[in-house]
């Protein structure tokens, strides 16, 4: 699947995006109201933000909250599924690693 961007002027739905800003591991990222945390991460170019015990990169796998590959900590709450949690302006997100290192 490849992303397709539609210019706001060409958007037939009349949607008016409301920007938001979150911080991921101290790095500010911008998104659009309604995006999930996984959506903001992927739109910024990150396809993985966690590591398995073997060190394999993990990000979104199922995208519907059935698996646990996209876990992050949000505002100090651990084990939040990034694919299910809508980003809110000002969210502080910390990536997770089961391998003992920060997942980047």
What distance in Å separates the CA atoms of residue 21 and residue 96, rounded to the nearest whole number?
Answer: 20
| Domain assignment of residue 11, yes or no | no
Helix (H) or strand (E) holding 41: helix 37-43
| Domain assignment of residue 61, yes or no | yes
| Domain assignment of residue 10, yes or no | no
Number of domains in the chain: 1
Q: Is there a contact between 43 and 24 (Cβ–Cβ < 8 Å)?
A: no
Read off the pTM. Answer: 0.77
pLDDT, one tens digit per residue, over 60-81 is 999 888 988 999 999 999 999 9
- The domain of 63 spans 19-97
Look at residue 5 in the predicted model and tell me its pLDDT: 67
The C-alpha angle 69, 92, 5, rounded to 5 degrees, equals: 70
Q: Specify the length of the chain in residues.
A: 104
| Domain assignment of residue 12, yes or no | no
CATH number where 42 lies: 3.10.20.440
| Domain assignment of residue 52, yes or no | yes
């Amino acid at each position: 699947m490849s992303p397709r961007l539609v210019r706001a002027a060409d958007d037939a739905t009349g949607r008016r995006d409301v920007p938001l800003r979150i911080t991921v591991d101290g790095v500010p990222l911008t998104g659009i109201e309604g995006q999930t945390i996984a959506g903001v991460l992927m739109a910024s170019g990150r396809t993985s933000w966690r590591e398995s015990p073997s060190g394999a990169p993990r990000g979104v796998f199922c995208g519907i909250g059935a698996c646990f590959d996209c876990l992050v900590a949000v505002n100090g709450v651990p084990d939040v599924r990034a694919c299910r949690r809508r980003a809110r302006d000002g969210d502080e997100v910390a990536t997770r690693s089961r391998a003992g290192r920060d997942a980047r």
